[in-house]
Structure 1
Amino acid sequence: MKFRGPPARGSPVVDGSLMAIFHQWLGYDHYIITLRRYTEGPESDTGVFAGVKVSDVMFAGIPVRVYEPPAGGLRRGLMYYHGGGFALCSGKKGSYDATNRMLSEELDTVVVSVESCLKSLQYEPLGPQCVCVSPEILAKYAVDPERVAVSGDSAGGNLAAAVAQEISTDDSMSVKFSVQALIYPALQGLDINTPSYIENQYAPSLNPSIMVQFWLQYLNADLSLEPQLLVNNHSALRHSPLTPELRSRVDWTTLLPEKYKKNHKPLIVENGSPEILKEVPGLLDVRAAPLLASPEVLAKLPRTYIITCEHDVLRDDGLMYARRLQDAGVMVTNDHYEDGFHGCFSLVMWPVDFDVGKRMLRGYISWLQKNL
């Protein structure tokens, strides 16, 4: 299937969103609950498939699914956070499960898929994630401590970036990630009017309204704040704890390549609603907004791979992060897909398979093969 624009009606992504909006409007169920029920397929079984052993275990109280390739010396290790707005999808179902099996087999990699959702991963307790790279766990699964990666897509890319930052600056951690691979990551909620948010405001796969709802739910905030965030009232100049230094870390006018700025103008509100940042402090917390990390933190991060898509509200988050990492001296590869849209990395299985998604997956695997 060749892609020539965002997915049209008739795909599970779009139909699920429409049904979820309708159910919430009727008062039948919450948007997220309906969308999760509509888009998730059946859970895949554990066992041995094509030589890959699959098992469901708990790491520090967090459910994970482990994929082990056939035994034979030390293997690579990959810690993966699936996308879904911190609330949807499961690493045990559909394309996520299939992709992790493929990664484990093709890369001879032990893949640890973390069940990242609202119930198990709030932005505060990232510490338990570190157990995945503890010497004990790595030894148990015969993982080479010099070849461990962290990765994720969308909201999972946010979690992967946050965990990478935390581990890179934690002197008590003897094992550090050797690479990070982020697929159209969500990295900040302060500017909902970047060029990519404006250009893709009607995108069916992910629009600004839905992304803001995801942010508010993840940060345990009142959903009634959505209209304020959509017009950047939360990042107003007056009385804002968002200092000029922090603003510079999300300033797309200096961080984006010229081709993506076009004729857009930054939306900077003078008064707005500055109290929002006090009500929702997570918007300023680097554990929730990795793009806000200081240059000193970024400089400690490993080689980085970032996928961005043209038809995606999160495009500029990834592009700005790539620029900030490069400025901090980190080796960065940014693969940008002009025909890509948010979510296409997971749309690689019949009957909803897109050519761009397949190319993206092959490029991701190829980069890991060479760099991990």
Structure 2
Amino acid sequence: MAKTYHPRRSHFIMKLLCGFTVLLTAAVAYYVYIPLPRRLSEPWKLLVVAAAFRGVTQVVNITHSLGLGHHIHIINHAVTIFESLIPVDFEGVQSHDAEFHSVPVRVYEPTQMNQVTLRRAVVFFHGGGWSLGFPKLGSYDLLCRKMAAELNAVVVTVDYHMAPDVRFPVQYEDCLQATRHFLRPEVLAHYSVEPQRVAVCGDSAGGNLAAAVAQQIGKDNSTAGTLKLQVLIYPVLQALDFNTASYQQNLNVPILYRELMVHYWLEYLGADPNLIHSLLLNNHTAQDQILADPHRTKLDWMTLLPKHMRKNYKPVIPAVGTPSILKDVPALLDSRAAPLLAEEEVLSMAARAYIMTCEHDVLRDDGTMYGLRLQQAGVSVTLQHYEDCFHGCVSFAFWPLYFSVGIRAVEDYIAWLQENL
């Protein structure tokens, strides 16, 4: 028996489907959309990335609350899956895994080797809040291959141990010992590297480690070799003021939110995670805290930042704070963890620097203040600032998820190394 066609029913179903589509689209838009600065490069791409991060974070929090694993391990598993999807098809570079002073590394070398001419070298430390990231996969692997190919250089990426399995100072010591090992004359000779043409480089937490290693190598008489340059890509350099102008301006700008940065610090230093709210309020550096004036001077952004960066933001210095924080977490005042706190004498022995900062990044002022302090100590500094950039852009310089500003940033710092290393 033939079915009867009911136009009113079909029209109702069509309206229902359209209504459902509109509601679904609105829900997705609501979840994806967050207010972003107008000058930010390719904002819709960043919205998608931020939404994906929020989704992963929510799943991780649920999994962690069920006792199925530490949240950092779960996030790293997700990062591994994503990074493994990035195709690594880069000709002209060979790589092999090794250990430098018991620290796992990967060494990249151009396949076209001139046995007569010595080459330059870059020791690279990856970012990820001292707890995330896989330097031998995806974007970091491609970045190191690109540096090796375009600079005709040996590139060593250090696979340092990470939180929560280890805490400060293990990450720093891994990077320092691997760098010292590479700077040994016999190791440099093995890789045909000219001893006077070695740089350290790192992004974010890796920039923190690169700055700390450059300081130590500069003053360490036991190291036979030396560093010519340090490249610090949006580095994190202090944990005493989480209310600098850039922290206030960019506290909710992806992909590094202010609260997330404080969380990374607490994980790195092995501190009580419940301190996060006190640190967000700067209770650890309140007026009643025992904090030497020189430390305050080293991160006095009202003096160290130009007026156009300070804008109308004001320092946050509570009258009364939490007296036990600096005592319970002494690493907050350790320049190996917070290189911005180093004495001028130490800074004066550090290598020439290239410091990249992003306008829409909570860490912008860390890098800017450090650049000025290095200059005051007599060190040559190139400050490269991007008005349309966000934290982490260098990791998004490769297909399938790339940003034009990320590509530009990578090309700029490699070009600087090409000219100066």
Q: Shift of residue 194 of structure 1?
A: 0.5
Residues 281 and 311 (structure 1), Cα distance of their counterparts in 2 relative to 1, 3 Å cut: same
Q: Is the 8 A contact 2:254 2:390 kept in 1?
A: no
Q: Which moved more, 1:54-63 or 1:118-127?
A: 118-127
Q: Shift of residue 32 of structure 1?
A: 2.3
SS in 1 for 2:350: coil
Specify the code of the residue in structure 2 equivalent to 1:146: Q
Specify the code of the residue in structure 1 equivalent to 2:60: H
Q: Tell me, yes or no, if structure 1 residue 136 matches structure 2 residue 186.
A: yes
Specify the code of the residue in structure 2 equivalent to 1:97: D
Choose the corresponding residue for 1:332, options 369, 376, 381. 381
Query: Whole-Å Cα distance in 2 between the matches of residues 42 and 363 of structure 1?
Result: 24
Query: Whole-Å Cα distance in 1 between the matches of residues 366 and 351 of structure 2?
Result: 19
What does residue 115 of structure 1 align with? 159
Specify the code of the residue in structure 2 equivalent to 1:326: Q
Q: Is the 8 A contact 1:6 1:203 kept in 2?
A: no
Q: Tell me, yes or no, if structure 1 residue 246 matches structure 2 residue 284.
A: no
Q: Tell me, yes or no, if structure 1 residue 71 matches structure 2 residue 118.
A: no
Query: Whole-Å Cα distance in 1 between the matches of residues 157 and 394 of structure 2?
Result: 16
What does residue 6 of structure 2 align with? none
Choose the corresponding residue for 1:195, options 230, 245, 268. 245
Specify the code of the residue in structure 2 equivalent to 1:3: S
What does residue 236 of structure 2 align with? 186
Q: Shift of residue 23 of structure 1?
A: 2.8
Q: Tell me, yes or no, if structure 1 residue 271 matches structure 2 residue 317.
A: no
What does residue 60 of structure 1 align with? 101
Q: Shift of residue 42 of structure 1?
A: 4.9
Q: Is the 8 A contact 2:354 2:382 kept in 1?
A: yes
Choose the corresponding residue for 2:330, options 267, 270, 281. 281
Q: Shift of residue 49 of structure 1?
A: 5.3
Query: Whole-Å Cα distance in 2 between the matches of residues 108 and 251 of structure 1?
Result: 41
Kindly report which structure 2 residues correspond to 1:201-240, keeping only aligned pairs within 5 A, or say none.
201-240=251-290
What does residue 3 of structure 1 align with? 41
Kindly report which structure 2 residues correspond to 1:271-350, keeping only aligned pairs within 5 A, or say none.
271-350=320-399
Q: Shift of residue 337 of structure 1?
A: 0.4
Residues 18 and 219 (structure 1), Cα distance of their counterparts in 2 relative to 1, 3 Å cut: same
SS in 1 for 2:48: coil
What stretches of structure 1 of length at least 5 have no aligned partner?
none
Q: Is the 8 A contact 2:357 2:368 kept in 1?
A: yes
Query: Whole-Å Cα distance in 2 between the matches of residues 294 and 160 of structure 1?
Result: 17
Q: Is the 8 A contact 2:201 2:231 kept in 1?
A: yes
Q: Shift of residue 8 of structure 1?
A: 3.6
Name the % identity: 47
More helix by share: 2
Q: Is the 8 A contact 1:203 1:312 kept in 2?
A: yes
Q: Shift of residue 77 of structure 1?
A: 0.8
What does residue 256 of structure 1 align with? 305
SS in 2 for 1:122: coil
Specify the code of the residue in structure 2 equivalent to 1:324: R
Q: Is the 8 A contact 1:44 1:92 kept in 2?
A: no
The number of aligned residues is 368
Q: Is the 8 A contact 1:6 1:341 kept in 2?
A: no
What does residue 76 of structure 2 align with? 36
Query: Whole-Å Cα distance in 1 between the matches of residues 186 and 417 of structure 2?
Result: 24
Query: Whole-Å Cα distance in 1 between the matches of residues 228 and 379 of structure 2?
Result: 12
Q: Is the 8 A contact 1:310 1:340 kept in 2?
A: yes
What stretches of structure 2 of length at least 5 have no aligned partner?
1-39
Query: What's the TM-score, normalizing by structure 1?
Result: 0.94
Specify the code of the residue in structure 2 equivalent to 1:236: A
Q: Which moved more, 1:313-322 or 1:109-118?
A: 109-118
Query: Whole-Å Cα distance in 2 between the matches of residues 329 and 243 of structure 1?
Result: 24
Instruction: Give CA deviations for 1:45-99 in whole Å, capped at 9, x if unaligned.
Output: 9x99523110111111111110011321311010000111111111111111001
Query: Whole-Å Cα distance in 2 between the matches of residues 194 and 36 of structure 1?
Result: 29
What does residue 355 of structure 1 align with? 404
Q: Is the 8 A contact 1:194 1:266 kept in 2?
A: yes
Q: Tell me, yes or no, if structure 1 residue 23 matches structure 2 residue 72.
A: no
Query: Whole-Å Cα distance in 1 between the matches of residues 327 and 48 of structure 2?
Result: 41
What does residue 157 of structure 1 align with? 207
Query: Whole-Å Cα distance in 2 between the matches of residues 264 and 24 of structure 1?
Result: 33
Instruction: Give CA deviations for 1:288-330 in whole Å, capped at 9, x if unaligned.
Output: 0000001111111121100000110000000000110111111
Q: Shift of residue 137 of structure 1?
A: 1.7
Q: Shift of residue 5 of structure 1?
A: 4.0
Q: Shift of residue 25 of structure 1?
A: 4.7
Query: Whole-Å Cα distance in 2 between the matches of residues 230 and 48 of structure 1?
Result: 43
Q: Shift of residue 4 of structure 1?
A: 4.2
SS in 2 for 1:266: coil
Specify the code of the residue in structure 2 equivalent to 1:331: S
Q: Is the 8 A contact 1:80 1:150 kept in 2?
A: yes
SS in 2 for 1:164: helix
Query: What's the TM-score, normalizing by structure 2?
Result: 0.83
Q: Shift of residue 270 of structure 1?
A: 2.0
Query: Whole-Å Cα distance in 2 between the matches of residues 14 and 342 of structure 1?
Result: 16
Q: Is the 8 A contact 1:21 1:31 kept in 2?
A: no
Q: Shift of residue 274 of structure 1?
A: 2.2
Q: Is the 8 A contact 2:353 2:380 kept in 1?
A: yes
Residues 49 and 207 (structure 1), Cα distance of their counterparts in 2 relative to 1, 3 Å cut: closer
What does residue 106 of structure 1 align with? 150
Query: Whole-Å Cα distance in 2 between the matches of residues 176 and 68 of structure 1?
Result: 21
